[in-house]
Structure 1
Amino acid sequence: MQRGLFVTSSSGLRKYATGVVGLDKLIGEITAPYTMLIAGHPGTGKTTLAATICSENAAKGEKCLYISFYEDKEKHYRYMKKLGLNLEALESKGVYRYIRLPTTLNIDQLVEEITRLISEGYSVLVVDSITVLLEPVLENPEKRAWLLNFFYQLPVVMNGLLILIAELPYGEERITPHSIEFVVDALIILKQRIEDGFTTRLIEIRKARGASIQAAETAFSISEDLGVVVHPPPVLREIPREGGELRLVCKKLKETVNHYHRGFTVNIFYSPGSPPGTEDLLGILAMAVENDLKA
């Protein structure tokens, strides 16, 4: 799947992409009807990821509706523009719409309003966040089952992509007892922690129907102009045969790794947004020169 591609196959199935570098390979093909749940603690990038997916497909001509219960439109557009998403331009073309619904409405009124809005022909819908709707019916099993069934049927009615955002309490990574994760096709958990004074962001693909999940958790970054970028580790299709030992010029490198052989695959990991400098690679470059290796 190419980045940002939206197509209708010969069978009439709609296919979407996330627009996020590295993410499409992790979750596999997105074919309508499809529901994606993005969960995480406050500040982990849930809104940014959802807006990126929404705007990517809107740029391809798919009508996208973003429903929020928190952030006002002007603030949302301003923050997203810093990350390279020009939502105002998409809105002017009639393919992107941002609506903030009041939380003073009861569940029945909110569902009725969502139903009315999607009848206007939207094929991509974001609900930010589903937690606002599920919390009031937590102690009402019948109402909760009715609401879950509504969202289960929603992408079918739309014949499109439904993106739900869920808030996780600090210190927890479980979404239950809402049970919303059982009615979605993909479940993405965004995490954030501080390591050695740096912010480390991790994305976990906890569930992705039809996809072979080879890297369940990997790093991602959020930066100005680039937006969200996922950094999946390389996956070896075949383990190469071990060759002769290489001469190590750098004493520190030899003390750390002990030995390198021809055929070795070396992965260098670093914090997103802080790539290694030239000095960090001098030991490996010196080894390549010393052993007459080709690059």
Structure 2
Amino acid sequence: MAEVATSPTSDQLLVVIDPVARRRDGESVRIAKDVLSGGAPTKVCLPDGPEEFARALARLGSRRPVVIGDDRALMRAVEVLHRQRELTGCALSLVPVGGTLSLARSLGVPTETVAAARAVLDGAERRLDLLVDDSDGVVLGAVRIPPVGGVTPVRETVGGVGRPWLQTCRSLVRTLVPARPSEIAPVTEAHPSRLRVEVDGETLVDLHQPVQAVSVVPGASGTARVEVRPASVGAEASPLLAEGRTVTVSGAHFRYRADAVVSGPVRTRTWVVLEGALGLTLPKS
């Protein structure tokens, strides 16, 4: 990841509050909003769904975008700004509130509400590398391709918004009411994939070699780190490592996890490193 720190370019903030954060932890949202509005001119947007979320960011103007929400809200904001071709020209800020925050933590964003809000006001912009695929999907953290049948399904959603309580209720019903034999899903066992992995046009592993897992992570100075774990019999096989700007995976239909989102199946996918494409406001070191 490229990390050149600069001062944020505008004191005016556009604060977009993710609806999941408002429902899950309204008190932390209120605290974040109070800290931000007490330190800078602030316009607050309360979108009810992904479309309104995107429209709010489209009215960015000269303001700095601030998202109050979890990892998924951060990823959504980055994707929207990338598709609007606004990402490289702004410094994005995040106050983590809500569900999963592991990505925010790994990027260096404080997960305590007041500290994160103060970092928005007093922090510095750091330019970070991204992965962009050939369908214009954006990856902040990592791409992981597990064995066939080894992808854990994403959390159930309704109307594009996660509803963990719905899954909990359905799990309780399944516990109380025995399933009929026809309703019992078969257990699928994960087994190695046969994939071709190419890094900057050079083949790292080909279809004849089964692999257990593949990972692609933004590295440093505009390159991605690629790790392929071959399937082995007996002793564990050593991973195959490479670095490059372009990574192509192809073969039989496969699924992959980009950050927290499972995509596919696809027959081929190419990821390209965009050096310094994301400006993220982080605490000054």
**Structure whose CA Rg is larger:** 1
Q: Settle same-fold status: TM greater than 0.5.
A: no
TM-score (norm 1): 0.27
Report the TM-score, using the length of structure 2 for normalisation: 0.28
Greater fraction strand? 2
